[in-house]
Amino acid sequence: MQTCYRHPDRETGVSCSNCGKPICPDCMTPTTVGMRCPECAGERTKVRTVRTLTDEPRVTYALIAINVVVFLAELASGAGAVSGALGGDVVRRGALFGPKVADGEYWRILTGGFLHATFFHLLFNMYALYVLGSLLEPAIGKLRFAIVYMASLFAGSFGVLLVSPDAVTVGASGAVFGLMGASLVIMRSRGIGVLESGIGIWLLLNLALTFTVSGISIGGHVGGLVGGALAGLALLEAPRLRIQAPLATLLAALVGVVSIAGAIAVA
């Protein structure tokens, strides 16, 4: 395991997206092109090298592609693109719905997070996923990013079944809220206040919509946010507690496992 170039006693799995130097949470500066070290944080342009090309958010792109393909499958099965009404065989078989989960259809805890009610629902979530993934995935690595995303998705499903188990629920919003939570954990570790960042304002606006607009899943959004923040804490606070990176990754994955167990239990 590499160590921070400014703090040799701290192990880290994060590297500067520009120069490639290993950096710990105290040395990370979030930018639109990933985490940078203090020296590179002030640079306006990113140097494109063979190493930085590997920092492309490919897991983010793959998740977006999966969501788009699933939405096309929804349309092919009879769902409407803009009507806002849930329909089609794909949605009926995959949407998160407490009574069906209670009957043993546990896959809905996963598949509900890849289905969307309308094209605009999909568009908003995929835009948010692109922005957050472009920031977070290069900062923590592809595997860890995938773990945070899935842990957030499962935590969102847990929240839905805990708060509104009889509602038919679809959407990647829980996972997206989880990415917001994990991103804010990174900023906190760098000493950036929640309200000082664009993501902090974005989160507050979305939370306001969550609690004031009807038809939005409060349990899904809050559950995903909490799950993502916990997974992010497990990954990024580990070096401070002298926890080895593989164990920290397992702790982040455990958030998802506990969420699955909780979703099944409350269903």
| 35 beta partners | 30
Q: 6: which 2 tokens?
A: 């400014």
Average pLDDT of span 11-31? 78
Are residues 37 and 62 both part of a single domain? no
> Which pLDDT score, from 0 to 100, does residue 52 have?
43
The greatest distance separating any two alpha carbons of the chain, rounded to the nearest whole angstrom, comes to: 58
Q: Do 26 and 189 form a contact (C-beta atoms < 8 A)?
A: yes
> Which pLDDT score, from 0 to 100, does residue 12 have?
80
* CATH (domain of 231): 1.20.1540.10
Helix (H) or strand (E) holding 31: strand 29-31
Mark which of 23, 39, 55 sits at the end of a domain.
Answer: 55
Residue 44 has pLDDT above 70, yes or no: no
Q: Do 192 and 215 form a contact (C-beta atoms < 8 A)?
A: no
> Which pLDDT score, from 0 to 100, does residue 97 have?
96
Q: Do 229 and 187 form a contact (C-beta atoms < 8 A)?
A: no
Q: Do 127 and 176 form a contact (C-beta atoms < 8 A)?
A: no
From the list 17, 157, 221, 259, the catalytic residue is 221
Are residues 45 and 60 both part of a single domain? no
Are residues 29 and 103 both part of a single domain? no
Are residues 44 and 62 both part of a single domain? no
Grade residue 194 by pLDDT with cuts at 50, 70 and 90: low
Are residues 71 and 152 both part of a single domain? yes
Are residues 17 and 132 both part of a single domain? no
Number of domains in the chain: 2
pTM of structure: 0.79
> Which pLDDT score, from 0 to 100, does residue 32 have?
55
Are residues 26 and 69 both part of a single domain? no
To the query of whether residue 189 is one of the catalytic residues in this protein, the response is: no
Residue 192 has pLDDT above 70, yes or no: no
Grade residue 193 by pLDDT with cuts at 50, 70 and 90: low
Which domain covers residue 123, as residue numbers?
56-266
Query: Between 196 and 97, where is the model more confident?
Result: 97
Are residues 74 and 198 both part of a single domain? yes
Are residues 168 and 223 both part of a single domain? yes
Are residues 33 and 64 both part of a single domain? no
Who's near 162: CB < 8 A, 6+ residues apart?
A: 219, 223, 262, 266
Residue 261 has pLDDT above 90, yes or no: yes
Are residues 244 and 128 both part of a single domain? yes
Residue 24 has pLDDT above 60, yes or no: yes
SS3 164: coil
From the list 173, 183, 189, 197, the catalytic residue is 173
To the query of whether residue 173 is one of the catalytic residues in this protein, the response is: yes
| Residue with token string 């949605």 | 91
Query: Between 132 and 49, where is the model more confident?
Result: 132
Are residues 63 and 44 both part of a single domain? no
Residue 198 has pLDDT above 50, yes or no: yes
Mark which of 9, 31, 55 sits at the end of a domain.
Answer: 55
Mark which of 38, 55, 72 sits at the end of a domain.
Answer: 55
Q: Do 174 and 224 form a contact (C-beta atoms < 8 A)?
A: yes
